[in-house]
Amino acid sequence: MFKSLFNRALKRAGSKAADTYSVFTRDFDVVVDATRLKEVLAPLSPDDATALDDAWTTFETSLNSWRTTANLQALETTGSIRDATSEHERQDTVVSILVDHSGSMRGQSILLAAATVEIACDFLSRLGYRVEILGFTTLDWKGGQSRRLWKRRGSPQYPGRLCDLLHIVYRSADKRGPPALGYVLKDMLRRDLLKENVDGEALEWAASRLYQRPEKHKILIVLSDGAPVDDSTLHENGPNFLIDHLRTVIARIEADDRILLAAIGINWETDSLYKHNLRVTAPEDLAGAMTDMLRNVLIGSEPQ
pLDDT of 222-247, one tens digit each?
999 989 999 999 999 999 999 999 99
Q: Cα–Cα distance between 41 and 260 in angstroms, integer?
A: 33
CATH topology classification for 2-299: Rossmann fold (3.40.50)
Closest listed residue to residue 29, CA positions, set 135, 133, 167, 160? 167
Task: Judge whether residue 73 has pLDDT over 90.
Answer: no
Task: Judge whether residue 153 has pLDDT over 50.
Answer: yes
Cα torsion 119, 123, 126, 131: sign: negative
The pLDDT assigned to 182 comes to 66
Helix (H) or strand (E) holding 133: strand 130-138
The pLDDT assigned to 18 comes to 44
The whole-chain average pLDDT of the chain stands at 88
